[in-house]
Each structure stands twice: as structure tokens, then as C-alpha cells.
């Protein structure tokens, strides 16, 4: 047997050499073939790697001699091995670079996207090749920028020692645009377009989560529609991608293969998903138009107002077409066609019986639809057959009867067309009742075998793992998957059989069965590392942790098992495996390389659940065995930052910077395997200093970074924030402009710039910048919040409200937007409180002060008091909280308590009474009147006098008015009149003062005087209070708000006076 030895074999990689050698020798290689000098592998390495690759199912040993002859064992590569080889190739060989004719035309972004599309993945080193000519400083920024914009992702692959970059759906679309831009050949563009189907997955998941679509069948149908239809092709019809997706969701809900419970009428769907009925109907009609859609969508009408939908590109459509063509070819086309008269009219033998037979085939034999849809299918098929005939004619203007010119074979499509032309099937085909009741009587023997061909189990099992939903299919069809597996591996040895069975059982998460299978496999191979591994996995998943220590684990699996135990919160057990891992991998690379992202995710989830102890336990456990790895230090600092342990975070970051003085600042050309990581810690330190309000120190740290590398955009952003909080908005804008110069496409920079202008009262400039931010990225909720605040301060209340509502419509789960809306509509206490409570329910860190004030305005004083006390406990040094508590207590008529908290507020703030709203005076005034109403005249007068003295006679309008109210209670109208007149002469009297003076004069019999003041009071009631409204021409106008209580009271006394005058006359 002749062996081919590739030229690409290299001494440094025995695993690669063995796999490559076996891949080019399809008949396999004997052991002796691997020991020659040509393989460039030592004998010990051959033995070690043969065991390793066999255990991992990358290769297998076979006897290729017939039975009875001497055994001849050869090693062959498996499908798993071929995949492994491709991964290694991506690292060991030069990847595919852009063609020479284009590489000089591409910009840096286009080079990166081309590379990632033409290779399974790339590592950092692939991009620094001199052919690409991308400076390292530019490369790091470009990769990060493309990652942020979701063109690519940075991941860790099992078996690969370095982080790699992979293309994402958005990047695939960009790649096709690049091919078109540079006019690549159509075949290349067409092949690359096919790969774009992967981009649907991300969008689908987001959509399903948003609308709580958990039904797997509905999800499956929706995905199929999305693969075939692109929303960008329907922009003129669908105003947004969301409307497009909802329409497809409706079609997916009402699929014939679903259970009846998932079917929805148009009205039910619109109510559930908040869609207008007329819009849905319009969208469905447009999609069902064959001229518009690239394929035909069919509608099956039920009697209860529900329409079911399927299309010609899916399994039902294809099978239905195939069944009808097959039936025509075997039963109709064999009958002679007669020419009748001069008109050469064709007669077909296709009858009602044929139609019912077709329904039997569709429902009973092929089970394309549920049997309870028999009547609907009978009504639908004539229209469908007519559709097929029209479609054939549109594609083939000239039909060659029954014979394909190329192959000489009968063309069933053409035969179908021929016979449909001759058939006389009425458009509204009538089905007799007997056809529905006794369909079996009409069955007949068909020529030929209509049974499906037997499954090629081996081929199906080989390709199954490449399907997007392969694991899902295996779970839902486990019996069939097991049948396929048995046919594939039943003749294999125990090692191969049980190895693959364990893999299948783990994929479908049947861990009890995996436990039994692993035990049985270990009875044959007690020391087999793979079966020990599966045994431990099954024990972990079945929570039998105490038995795990009885099994020996290969070093290659230590990292994964440690991670699984951490995931299950078995920290002590995880530590044992980590300790063993540390023995084999002293740098801790096995954990950081393969499981950093997963561990980070676990920690993040624990933080969200406020399980801070678990978060720190995991991190400290990992760092004990990976202390030299800077990424975990970075994560620990971030964790402390999130936990608001800023001083601890600062201590940690200072320690790491001190320990590594050799690398104070990272050059932007950053390879994760290098030790150059320092600049990230300096940026972390600057952020922490900002939170600790040490803004000048933060700026110094950033300046030290920028001296060594002036192209770190994040540094300018942090610096801008420092200047912002120092209220040095000019320098803040200078810093953020530098970031913008490096990347003018980043929305957040313009948001920061807008906020700086806003704080500097340059509202027009602020509005310009936030509009740019929104144009660059409308998917940042903060941009809507900033713009609405700017508009509010520009007195553009309606635009402000419209902007925040747009933001809420786009991001209904964002609490900050709801809180901002609460501020915009603050005068409407009910709606404002509702918006604030929504923000709180969404986890927002709302202003408890504002909530307490709204509750107090609504006279829900007890609730308001409870809320403000929470705020006081959280911020005991905020004087405003004590003022609010005093105000609430005043509403509860607990005036003595109110005065105590007002005094505490003044002590904390250091303000005088006049400089802080005269709240004490207001409390005293209301207290005085309250005492009078209780009959405590003397004490009421004392409190009123105290209020007058506190404010001073010139400013005591409220105090004098309250004084007058006391005498009104006791019907001492002259004394009341004296006090009201003093109130009127003081600074800014209330709008009720003329009414009260008028009433006093009335009570004293001074009717002319009374009438004079009452008329003024009524006029004030009609015009003194107003609000802005937008007129029909869009111009804001002042609209009076009548004060009904003043008007009614003044009118009542005016009428009485007029009646008195009438009597006198």
C-alpha cells in the first residue's frame, strides 16, 4: 500500500502531522508508516499521540483484511479528526489573504472583513502580516471597533490556545457588499451570499425574547420565513423591521403542522401583540402577492375565521408539488389524449375521484396535513393545481411534450402542464358529502412503489451534527436518533460504540442514561480517560458529588470539570480539581484559555442576583491558581467597582500597577498572550478616581497614558468625564473632540459632548450634538433621555415628551427613560407617579425624593412618609430630604414634628429661612389655622405672630393671611379684615386675598366695598392662572385656567349683594 507523505509536515506539531498524513491517505496508514523519518515524529511521540487521538475519537484503528486472513490494522482519520485538522490548519498555515489585485484597493476594515469571511477564524498574528500592511496601533482599534459594531467576535475555541476572531452575520453582509463594490465574479458573490443565513439567529433570539415566543414549532417556522425573506426588500411596505417580523410571526403561528391551540385569528393576534388589525391585513395581502414575494405563500381557510399558511419552499410545499406531479405522471399521463374536432381541444381523464385520491395521498400516505383538515384540503387542491399549471407556463413558453431534450427523460412538469390544460376543473370545485364521509372507498391501486426510500442511516448520522438545530432534533426525536446511531455503530467495537453513545447521551442531556452507559463502558475499559470523564460529567449533572473522587480524570478535562463544579457551586470540590490542574498547568492556562468567558458570565449573573459572596468566592478561587493572569485581576477590579467597593478597587488596581512597573502602559498593538496589559489598569484607576470624586488625580493618570499612546479613545472619554464633573465644560469638550477625531462614528462621544453643552447652558449646540448621536446610533437609550431633557429646558415640552415616548417605545424595559418621562410630566401627579413606578419596577435607581413628593401631592401621606424615610436612611446628610419629610408631616397635621425636621434641614444646610423657601413660615401658618379650627384661639394667635416675626412684616403676606383666617374661624371679621389688608400690602399676596377682604366687608355690611373687592377677585379667578398650549398653527399660547372655587365663591356673594340692593329698591 503506497503512502503519500505531504510536504507540509513539521517537527513542531506531531498531532497535526498525524492527522494530515491520515487525511491524504484514505485507505489509512499502518503503524510502521508513521515511524519513518518523513513524518518528522519520534517513536515516543507517535505512541503518545496515537493514544490521545484515539481516545478523543479523532482517529480509529481498523482491520482491512477479509475475515479468516491475517489481521492488518491501519489507522484512519474520523470526521471529528477532519474538523480538528481544519482548526489546527487555521493556526499553523498561512490563511487565505485578499487577492493581490484587490489588497491594495481595500481599506483596513475591508481587509479584516475579507480575511474573516474567507477563513474559519483568524488569530491576531494573521492580521499583522506585511501583505495586509495594517499598523498595529490601527489594527487594535479596528478590531475593537468592528467587535463593538457586531461585525466580528473574539472567542476562545476548544483545543486552540489563542483567542480567535470570527465573523458575525453583520460582517457577512458587509463582505458581500465589498465583493459587489469591487466587482468580484458573480459566482463568488452568490456562494458567499449563502453564508448569510447565520445572521438570522441573533435577530431571531432577540425577537423571541421580546415577545416571549417559547413555542419551538412557531420559532422554527419563523426562522424558515426569515431565511427566505429579507425585510430590507419590503421597506416601502413595512415601516419597521418589527412590523415585518410580527407579520411573519402571524404566519408562523398559523401553520398547518401546529396544534390547533396555537392558531390565532387576526383579531386575537393583534390584541396579543398590540398591532392594528387593518395593518396586519394589509401586510398579509402584500406578502401573499406572488409578484412581490420570491415564492408563493398559500392560505388554507378554516370555518372558524382562521387562515393557515404555508409556502412552496418549505417541506409541505415541496412534498405537495412532488406528490401531485408524481400522481399525474403515473396515472393521468398514461391515458391517451384525444383530439376533438378542428379546435384540437384536449380532453383529460382527471376527475373528482382523482382529486379525492390526491387528498388521500396528501393526508393519509404522506401526512402533509392533519387529517381533520380533509375538507379544507379538498377545497384548496384545485386552486393549487391551477397555480402549478400557471407557474409552469410562465417558466416554459414552449413545451416539449413529455421529453427533456438534454436527458431524453420524461419531464413530469411538462406532462402536468399538458394535462392541466386539458382538465376541466371548476374554479369553485364542489365536493360531495360522500367524499368526505367515506374517502377510503375511493382509494385505488397506484402503479409503482410510493413508499419513501429507506433512510441511509450512516449518511444521515454523518451530516446531522452540521445542522443548525441538530441537538434540538436529537432531543425531540431521541428514539429516531438512537435508531440512526445503532445502525451507524452496531458493528463497531465496544470502545467506539460506547464512546459515541456517551457523546449522544450528553448532547441530549440524558444524564441518568449517560451514568449507566459510562459504568458499563468502564467495566470494559477501567482506565479509559474518556469514559472516566463522562462518568464524572453524569455524576455532576445528577448531583452525586460524593462519588466523583473515585474516578481518575485526564489532565485535559480538569479545566472543564472545575468549571462545571463552579457552575454548580461546589467550590470545595472544584478547588481539588483546580489544584490538580495547577500541577499539570502551573500558569493556570487551561482555565483562562477555555473558560474565562463562562466564568465571567457566572460571576455577572451572581452579581445580578446580589449573590456577592458567591461572586467573590469564585473569583478568588480562580485567581489563586491563575494569579499571574492579568485578565482576572481586571475582572476582580471591575467586580469591586460594580459592588461599589471603590476604595478596595483602588487598592487592588494600585497593587497590580506597582507589581508590574515594566509595562506601565500598553501599546495599542495588543496580543492577549503578551504581558503588555498595563494601560487597562490605568484606565480602571482613572474611572475609580472619578467615582471617588478625585477628578484632578484621574486626569493625571489619563495624561500619563496619553503621553505614551495618544490614540486610546477610551482615555479621552474618561478625561472628558473628569472635566465634566469639575464643571470645566470647555476642556471636557476638547477631550471628547479628540476621541471623535479618532473615531467619528461612535455615538457616545457626541452624547457626552451634548451633555457638556447642556450643562454649560448652550442648548442649541447640545441639541445639534445629540441629534448626531441619535443619527449614528438610535439604539442607545441614553441618547433619547438627553435629548428630551435638552428640549424640556428649551421650553419645547411637546417635543420633549414625544422624544422620550419614542425612546420608551423602542426600549420599553429601560427604567431611566420612564423616570425621565416622570419629570417631564411632573405637573400631572397621577401619570408622573405611574411613570416613576414603572421605572422602579424595571429595577431603576429612581429618586425616592420625587416619589415621596408625588405621593404627598396626591395626599397619600403615609406612603410618602415611608418613602422619604428610606431616602433619609440612605442619604442622612441631604437637607432636602428633611424638608420633604417636614412637608409631608405638615400634610398629616403633625406640625410640631414637621418643625423639628425643618430645623434639622436648616442646621445641615446652613441656609437662612428666607434663603431656603420659607418652609417654616408655611408650616407655622397652617399650624395656626389648624389650632384655630380646634378652638385653641390663644395658641393659634401665638403661632401666627411667630410666623410674622420669622418672615418680617414686609414679607409676611402668608403669615398675615393665616392670621386673618384665625379670626374668620371665630367670626371676628374686623380683626380678620385688618390682617388681610396687611397681607395685601406685603410682598406677593395670594390670589384669594381680594376674595377674603370682600367677604369681610360683606359680613361687616360694607356692601359697596365688598362688591368692589369681589369683582376684582372674580376677575382674578378667571385670568390669574394660565398654562401654555400649542395652537393649531403650532404656536404656543397662554390659555387661562379658571379657578372655579374663587369664581364661584365671589359670584355667590355678588349675587347676595345684588339681591340686597334689589330689596332696598
827 and 866 housed in the same domain: no
Would you state the pLDDT for residue 454? 35
Would you state the pLDDT for residue 415? 44
Residue whose C-alpha is closest to residue 165's, from 175, 155, 174, 157? 155
508, 530, 552 - which closes a domain: 552
- 617 within domain boundaries: no
Q: Which residues contact 874 (CB under 8 A, 6 or more apart)?
A: 848
Contact by Cβ (8 Å): 318, 385: no
More confident residue, 59 or 68: 59
For 470-503, give the secondary structure using H, E and C: HHHHHHHCHHHHHHHHHHHHCCCCHHHHHHHHHH
Contact by Cβ (8 Å): 500, 487: no
Does 583 score more than 60 pLDDT? Answer: no
Would you state the pLDDT for residue 672? 34
d(CA 565, CA 574): 5
What is the percent of the chain where pLDDT is above 70? 77
Does 238 score more than 50 pLDDT? Answer: yes
Would you state the pLDDT for residue 120? 67
225 and 289 housed in the same domain: yes
990, 1019, 1034 - which closes a domain: 990
432 and 320 housed in the same domain: yes
User: Mean pLDDT over residues 189-205, rounded?
Assistant: 59
Name the helix (H) or strand (E) containing 945: helix 937-951
103 and 143 housed in the same domain: yes
Would you state the pLDDT for residue 434? 38
Would you state the pLDDT for residue 367? 74
d(CA 284, CA 288): 6
Q: What are phi and psi of 415, to 5 degrees?
A: -65, -40
Residue 191: CA atoms inside 13 Å, Cβ hemisphere, count?
7
d(CA 579, CA 590): 12
Q: Which residues contact 101 (CB under 8 A, 6 or more apart)?
A: none
**Tens-place pLDDT, residues 671-688:** 333 334 467 888 999 999
837 and 851 housed in the same domain: no
**Tens-place pLDDT, residues 92-105:** 556 788 988 888 88
Would you state the pLDDT for residue 112? 93
The label of the residue with cell 484606565 reads: 683
Q: Which residues contact 344 (CB under 8 A, 6 or more apart)?
A: none
**Tens-place pLDDT, residues 863-893:** 999 999 988 888 888 888 898 999 999 999 9
Quick one: CA torsion of 146, 149, 150, 152, rounded to 10 degrees?
0
Does 339 score more than 70 pLDDT? Answer: no
d(CA 541, CA 568): 9
Contact by Cβ (8 Å): 74, 106: no
278 and 359 housed in the same domain: no
User: Of the segments 580-589, 590-599, 614-623, 677-686, which one has the largest average pLDDT value?
Assistant: 677-686
Would you state the pLDDT for residue 674? 38
d(CA 915, CA 780): 40
113 and 175 housed in the same domain: yes
More confident residue, 572 or 1045: 1045
What value does the mean pLDDT of the chain take? 78
- 979 within domain boundaries: yes
User: Mean pLDDT over residues 408-420, rounded?
Assistant: 42
Would you state the pLDDT for residue 67? 57
Contact by Cβ (8 Å): 248, 269: no
For residue 873, what is its C-alpha cell? 436612611
Region of 922 on the Ramachandran plot (φ > 0 left; ψ -120 to 50 alpha; else beta): alpha
Q: Fill in the DSSP letter of residue 308.
A: E
Q: Which residues contact 920 (CB under 8 A, 6 or more apart)?
A: 899, 902, 903, 906, 913, 950
Would you state the pLDDT for residue 341? 41
d(CA 172, CA 198): 9
331 and 437 housed in the same domain: yes
Asked which of 6-10, 437-441, 510-514, 804-808 is least confident by mean pLDDT, the reply is 437-441
Q: Fill in the DSSP letter of residue 361.
A: I
Contact by Cβ (8 Å): 474, 508: yes
Would you state the pLDDT for residue 447? 29
888 and 937 housed in the same domain: no
Does 334 score more than 50 pLDDT? Answer: no
Contact by Cβ (8 Å): 898, 923: yes
User: Mean pLDDT over residues 936-958, rounded?
Assistant: 88
Does 442 score more than 90 pLDDT? Answer: no
- 738 within domain boundaries: no
**Tens-place pLDDT, residues 921-944:** 889 999 999 999 999 999 999 999
User: Mean pLDDT over residues 247-258, rounded?
Assistant: 85
Residue whose C-alpha is closest to residue 670's, from 143, 94, 47? 143
71, 88, 105 - which closes a domain: 88
User: Mean pLDDT over residues 816-837, rounded?
Assistant: 90
CATH number at residue 188: 1.10.10.10
What is the percent of the chain where pLDDT is above 90? 25
Q: Fill in the DSSP letter of residue 611.
A: -
Confidence at 77, pLDDT banded by 50, 70, 90: very high
Give bridge partners of residue 167 from the DSSP assignment. 152
**Tens-place pLDDT, residues 975-990:** 999 999 999 988 788 8
For residue 948, what is its C-alpha cell? 410674622
Q: Which residues contact 58 (CB under 8 A, 6 or more apart)?
A: 19, 77, 78, 80, 81, 84
Q: Fill in the DSSP letter of residue 233.
A: G
Give bridge partners of residue 309 from the DSSP assignment. 299
- 951 within domain boundaries: yes
More confident residue, 945 or 610: 945
Q: How many angstroms separate the first and last alpha carbons of the chain?
A: 139
d(CA 1011, CA 1020): 14
More confident residue, 189 or 1005: 1005
Would you state the pLDDT for residue 390? 60
Would you state the pLDDT for residue 977? 93
Would you state the pLDDT for residue 325? 77
Contact by Cβ (8 Å): 21, 46: no
Asked which of 46-55, 467-476, 1032-1041, 1048-1057 is least confident by mean pLDDT, the reply is 1032-1041
Q: Which residues contact 737 (CB under 8 A, 6 or more apart)?
A: 753
Q: Which domain holds residue 832?
A: 745-843
Q: Which long-range contacts (CB under 8 A, 24 or more apart) does 803-809 make?
A: 807/781, 807/783
- Structural domain total, the chain: 9
Residues in the chain: 1065
Q: Which long-range contacts (CB under 8 A, 24 or more apart) does 569-576 make?
A: 569/614, 570/540, 570/545, 571/617, 571/618, 571/621, 573/545, 573/548, 574/621, 575/621, 576/549
414 and 319 housed in the same domain: yes
1020 and 985 housed in the same domain: no
Q: Which residues contact 107 (CB under 8 A, 6 or more apart)?
A: none
The DSSP line for 805-870 is: HHHHHH-TT-HHHHHHHHHHTTTSHHHHHHHHHHHHHTT----HHHHHHHHHHTT-HHHHHHHHHH
Q: Which residues contact 597 (CB under 8 A, 6 or more apart)?
A: 155, 156
More confident residue, 616 or 39: 39
Q: Residue 110: count other Cβ atoms within 10 Å of its Cβ.
A: 19
CATH number at residue 783: 1.25.40.10
Would you state the pLDDT for residue 1026? 64
Query: Distances from the Cα of 414 to the Cαs of 19, 397, 410, 426, 450, in angstroms?
Result: 51, 11, 8, 21, 21
333 and 348 housed in the same domain: yes
**Tens-place pLDDT, residues 361-392:** 888 777 778 777 888 888 888 878 777 766 55
Contact by Cβ (8 Å): 184, 106: no
- 735 within domain boundaries: no
Give bridge partners of residue 346 from the DSSP assignment. 339
Query: Distances from the Cα of 708 to the Cαs of 402, 672, 674, 678, 733, in angstroms?
Result: 79, 19, 18, 12, 22
d(CA 164, CA 155): 6
- The number of helix segments (H) and strand segments (E) in the chain equals 52, 10
- 623 within domain boundaries: no
Does 899 score more than 90 pLDDT? Answer: no
- 765 within domain boundaries: yes
- 99 within domain boundaries: yes
Does 264 score more than 80 pLDDT? Answer: yes
Does 426 score more than 80 pLDDT? Answer: no
Asked which of 43-57, 483-497, 950-964 is least confident by mean pLDDT, the reply is 43-57
For residue 619, what is its C-alpha cell? 473569583
Asked which of 44-48, 726-730, 1005-1009, 1030-1034 is least confident by mean pLDDT, the reply is 1030-1034
Amino acid at each position: 500500500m503506497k503512502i503519500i507523505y505531504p510536504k507540509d509536515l513539521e517537527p513542531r506539531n506531531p498531532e497535526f502531522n498525524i492527522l494530515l498524513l491520515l487525511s491524504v491517505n484514505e485507505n489509512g496508514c499502518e503503524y510502521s508508516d508513521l515511524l519513518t523519518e518523513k513524518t518528522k515524529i519520534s517513536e515516543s511521540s507517535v505512541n503518545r499521540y496515537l493514544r490521545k487521538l484515539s481516545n478523543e475519537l479523532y482517529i480509529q484503528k481498523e482491520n482491512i483484511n477479509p475475515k479468516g486472513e491475517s489481521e492488518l490494522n491501519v489507522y484512519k482519520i474520523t470526521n471529528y479528526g477532519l474538523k480538528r485538522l481544519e482548526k489546527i490548519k487555521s493556526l499553523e498555515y498561512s490563511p487565505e489573504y485578499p487577492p493581490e489585485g484587490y489588497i491594495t484597493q481595500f481599506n483596513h476594515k475591508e481587509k479584516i472583513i475579507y480575511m474573516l469571511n474567507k477563513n474559519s477564524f483568524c488569530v491576531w498574528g494573521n492580521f499583522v502580516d506585511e501583505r495586509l500592511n495594517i499598523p498595529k496601533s490601527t489594527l487594535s482599534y479596528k478590531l475593537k471597533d468592528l467587535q463593538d459594531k457586531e461585525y466580528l467576535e473574539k472567542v476562545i475555541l476548544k483545543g486552540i490556545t489563542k483567542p480567535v476572531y470570527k465573523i458575525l452575520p453583520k460582517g457577512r453582509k458587509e463582505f458581500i457588499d465589498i465583493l459587489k463594490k469591487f466587482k468580484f465574479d458573480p459566482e463568488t458573490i452568490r456562494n458567499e451570499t449563502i453564508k448569510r443565513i447565520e445572521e438570522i439567529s441573533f435577530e431571531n433570539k432577540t425577537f423571541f425574547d421580546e415577545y416571549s415566543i417559547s413555542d419551538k414549532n412557531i420559532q422554527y417556522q419563523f426562522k424558515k420565513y426569515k431565511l427566505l425573506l429579507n425585510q430590507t426588500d419590503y421597506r416601502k411596505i413595512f415601516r419597521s423591521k418589527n412590523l415585518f417580523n410580527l407579520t411573519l410571526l402571524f404566519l408562523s403561528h398559523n401553520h398547518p403542522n401546529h396544534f390547533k391551540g396555537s392558531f390565532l385569528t387576526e383579531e386575537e393576534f393583534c390584541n396579543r401583540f398590540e398591532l392594528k388589525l387593518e395593518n396586519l391585513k394589509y401586510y398579509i395581502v402584500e406578502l401573499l402577492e406572488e409578484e412581490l414575494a420570491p415564492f408563493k405563500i398559500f392560505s388554507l381557510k378554516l370555518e372558524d375565521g382562521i387562515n393557515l399558511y404555508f409556502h412552496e419552499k418549505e417541506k409541505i410545499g415541496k412534498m405537495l408539488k412532488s406528490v401531485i406531479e408524481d400522481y399525474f405522471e403515473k396515472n393521468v399521463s398514461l391515458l391517451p389524449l384525444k383530439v376533438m374536432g378542428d379546435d384540437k381541444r384536449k380532453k383529460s381523464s382527471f376527475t373528482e375521484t382523482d382529486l379525492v385520491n390526491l387528498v388521500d395521498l396528501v393526508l393519509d400516505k404522506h401526512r402533509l396535513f392533519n387529517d381533520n383538515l380533509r375538507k379544507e384540503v379538498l377545497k384548496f387542491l384545485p386552486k393549487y393545481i391551477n397555480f402549478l399549471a400557471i407557474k409552469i407556463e410562465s417558466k416554459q413558453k414552449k413545451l416539449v411534450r413529455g421529453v427533456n431534450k438534454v436527458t431524453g427523460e420524461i419531464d413530469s412538469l411538462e406532462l402536468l402542464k399538458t394535462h392541466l390544460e386539458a382538465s376541466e376543473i371548476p374554479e369553485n370545485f364542489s365536493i360531495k358529502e360522500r367524499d368526505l364521509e367515506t374517502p377510503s372507498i375511493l382509494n385505488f391501486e397506484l402503479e409503482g412503489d410510493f413508499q419513501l426510500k429507506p433512510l441511509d442511516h450512516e449518511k444521515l448520522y454523518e451530516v446531522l451534527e452540521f445542522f443548525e438545530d441538530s441537538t434540538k432534533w436529537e432531543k425531540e426525536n431521541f428514539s429516531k436518533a438512537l435508531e440512526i446511531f445503532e445502525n451507524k455503530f452496531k458493528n463497531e467495537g465496544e470502545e467506539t460504540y460506547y464512546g459515541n453513545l456517551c457523546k449522544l447521551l450528553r448532547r441530549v442531556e440524558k444524564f441518568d442514561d449517560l451514568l449507566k452507559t459510562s459504568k458499563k463502558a468502564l467495566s470494559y475499559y477501567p482506565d479509559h480517560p474518556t469514559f472516566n470523564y463522562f462518568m464524572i460529567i453524569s455524576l455532576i449533572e445528577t448531583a452525586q458529588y460524593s462519588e466523583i473522587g473515585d474516578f481518575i480524570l485526564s489532565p485535559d478535562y480538569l479545566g472543564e470539570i472545575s468549571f462545571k463544579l463552579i457552575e454548580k457551586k461546589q467550590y470545595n470540590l472544584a478547588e481539588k480539581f483546580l489544584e490538580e490542574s495547577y500541577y499539570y498547568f502551573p500558569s493556570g492556562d487551561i482555565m483562562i484559555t477555555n473558560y474565562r468567558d463562562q466564568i465571567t458570565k457566572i460571576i455577572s449573573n451572581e452579581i445580578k442576583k446580589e449573590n456577592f459572596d458567591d461572586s467573590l468566592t469564585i473569583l478568588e478561587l480562580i485567581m489563586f491558581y491563575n494569579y499571574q493572569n492579568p485578565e482576572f485581576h481586571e475582572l476582580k477590579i471591575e467586580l469591586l467597582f460594580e459592588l461599589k467597593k471603590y476604595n478596595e478597587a483602588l487598592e487592588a488596581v494600585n497593587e497590580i500597577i506597582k507589581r508590574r512597573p515594566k509595562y506601565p502602559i500598553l501599546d495599542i498593538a495588543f496580543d492577549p498572550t503578551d504581558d503588555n496589559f498595563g494601560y487597562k489598569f490605568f484606565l480602571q484607576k482613572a474611572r475609580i478616581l472619578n467615582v471617588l470624586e478625585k477628578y484632578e488625580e484621574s486626569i493625571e493618570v489619563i495624561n500619563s497614558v496619553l503621553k505614551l499612546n495618544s490614540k486610546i479613545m477610551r482615555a479621552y472619554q474618561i478625561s472628558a468625564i473628569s472635566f465634566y464633573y469639575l464643571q470645566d465644560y470647555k476642556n471636557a469638550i476638547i477631550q471628547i473632540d479628540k476621541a471623535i477625531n479618532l473615531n467619528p462614528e461612535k455615538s457616545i462621544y457626541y452624547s457626552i459632548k451634548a451633555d457638556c453643552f447642556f450643562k454649560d447652558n448652550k442648548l442649541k449646540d447640545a441639541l445639534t450634538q445629540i441629534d448626531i448621536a441619535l443619527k449614528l446610533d438610535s439604539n442607545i437609550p441614553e441618547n433619547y433621555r438627553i435629548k428630551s431633557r435638552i428640549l424640556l429646558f428649551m421650553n419645547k415640552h411637546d417635543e420633549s415628551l414625544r422624544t422620550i415616548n419614542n425612546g420608551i417605545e423602542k426600549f420599553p424595559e429601560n427604567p431611566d427613560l420612564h423616570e425621565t418621562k416622570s419629570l417631564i410630566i411632573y405637573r400631572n401627579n397621577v401619570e408622573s407617579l405611574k411613570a416613576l413606578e414603572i421605572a422602579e419596577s424595571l429595577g431603576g435607581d429612581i429618586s425616592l425624593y420625587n416619589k415621596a413628593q408625588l405621593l404627598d401631592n396626591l395626599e397619600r401621606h403615609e406612603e410618602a412618609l415611608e418613602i422619604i424615610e428610606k431616602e433619609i436612611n440612605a442619604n442622612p446628610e441631604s437637607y432636602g430630604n428633611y424638608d420633604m419629610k417636614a412637608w409631608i408631616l405638615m400634610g398629616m397635621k403633625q406640625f410640631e414634628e414637621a418643625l423639628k425636621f425643618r430645623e434639622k434641614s436648616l442646621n445641615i444646610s446652613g441656609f437662612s429661612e428666607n434663603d431656603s423657601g420659607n418652609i417654616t413660615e408655611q408650616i407655622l401658618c397652617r399650624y395656626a389655622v389648624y389650632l384655630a379650627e380646634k378652638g385653641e384661639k390663644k395658641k393659634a394667635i401665638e403661632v401666627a405672630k411667630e410666623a410674622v416675626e420669622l418672615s418680617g412684616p414686609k414679607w409676611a403676606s402668608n403669615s398675615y393671611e393665616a392670621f386673618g383666617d384665625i379670626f374668620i374661624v371665630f367670626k371676628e371679621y374686623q380683626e380678620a379684615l385688618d390682617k388681610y389688608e396687611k397681607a395685601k400690602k406685603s410682598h406677593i399676596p395670594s390670589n384669594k386675598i381680594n376674595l377674603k377682604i370682600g367677604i369681610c366687608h360683606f359680613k361687616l355690611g360694607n356692601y359697596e366695598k365688598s362688591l368692589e373687592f369681589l369683582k376684582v377677585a372674580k376677575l382674578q379667578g378667571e385670568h390669574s392662572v394660565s398654562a401654555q398650549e400649542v395652537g393649531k398653527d403650532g404656536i404656543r399660547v397662554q390659555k387661562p385656567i379658571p379657578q372655579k372655587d374663587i369664581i364661584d365663591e365671589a359670584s355667590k356673594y355678588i349675587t347676595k349683594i345684588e339681591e340686597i340692593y334689589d330689596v332696598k329698591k
